[in-house]
Amino acid sequence: MATDIPIFEKKNVLVTGGAGFLGSHVCERLLKEAHVICMDDLSNSSIVNIEHLLQYPDFEFIKYDVTKPIDLLQFPELEKFRVRFQGVQEIYHLACPTSPKNFDSLKIQSLWANSRAMLSTLDLAVQYRAKYLFGSSSVVYGDPKTEDQIFSEEDEGIVHHLSPRGCYDEGKRFAETCVETYVQVYGLDAKIARIFTTYGPRMKLRDGLLIPDFILDALAGEELVIYGEDSMHQSLCYVTDMVDGLVRLMNTGPETRLLNLGSDQSRRIGDIARQIISMTRSTSTIRYENPLVFLTKKGIPDLRRAKEQLDWIPLVGLEDGLRRTIDYTLAHKETVSFTTGY
């Protein structure tokens, strides 16, 4: 039975990629107001990220590959949420590999996440008339022409669809087209969040992600590796701000469909590395290497639409966010040899 309104006391929300970095924080936030179904195949994420949530009766983890058709009735553990009668009211589709160091080995998974998984999750939204939010990326804008280029939602961008990154960059563009097509054909209330670089606790360690790797190397007194030049800039949004933006976007009406989310403050990568060295009281130095394929230059988001339609701006300053991330890394660095959470 499909419905737009929960029959029982709480709405049911599905989060794909829910054991990943961003997904686990979304699950944690939604537990305040919903029954949360976390779906993840753990191929590029970790159960460690959601271990603290497993104790809650309103949370259920389902190990499943969302590139396959999704039938929620096949999971008996969801009977407690009365999915057979209530369905799901919201779907956050966040499942997609984002590994800079292992990008080459995850290309097919990226391709499927931006195609097969789009269709399976959108079909589920049609089945239950659920609201839908897709975690897209700033990569759809293509390479910025200048270090401080600002991208608004109207910018179309140019993406090299046959490049080594095409499965991700062009994949995100195709995924957005899937969302818009389902809106046009089925009348879904679906949203696209163009997510700019986000950081914080539970980022995958030793995976080529700058912030956690900088912190680990600084704590160990080893060289901090910058994949590129010292002058490279990047905007950094702390994860709780990003989650707040995503939830606010989901809670808007169907007239709100596409928004940039991220920080509009750009920082030099070299300055961030030096700040982490200082905050950890490290003796580390900095080394420069060739850029990784998955790490490309990114512009700055124009946040006017997010401010007007969501009343949203990032609130956590860089120093505060880095301190929280350093504290988390200190507590979990011993697990770096076996964790796969990102």
Q: Which residues are catalytic?
A: 168
Of 75, 76, 92, residue with least CA distance to 17: 92
Q: How far is CA 113 from CA 3, 57, 328, in A?
A: 27, 29, 29
Paired tokens of 166: 């095409």
Between the CA atoms of 157, 172, 321 and 275, what dihedral angle is there, to the nearest 10 degrees? -60
Q: How far apart are CA 34 and CA 340, in angstroms?
A: 27
How crowded is residue 268: how many other Cβ atoms within 10 Å of its Cβ?
16
Give the E-state strand segments of the chain in sequence order: 11-16, 34-40, 59-63, 90-93, 131-137, 150-151, 190-195, 198-199, 224-227, 233-235, 237-238, 258-261, 266-268, 286-289, 300-301
Q: Which phi and psi (to 5°) does residue 88 adopt?
A: -125, 145
SS3 of residue 329 by DSSP: helix
The tokens for 330 are: 């200190």
CA nearest neighbour of 133 among 165, 178, 92? 92
Distances (CA, A) of 123 to 64, 67, 160, 280: 16, 12, 29, 48
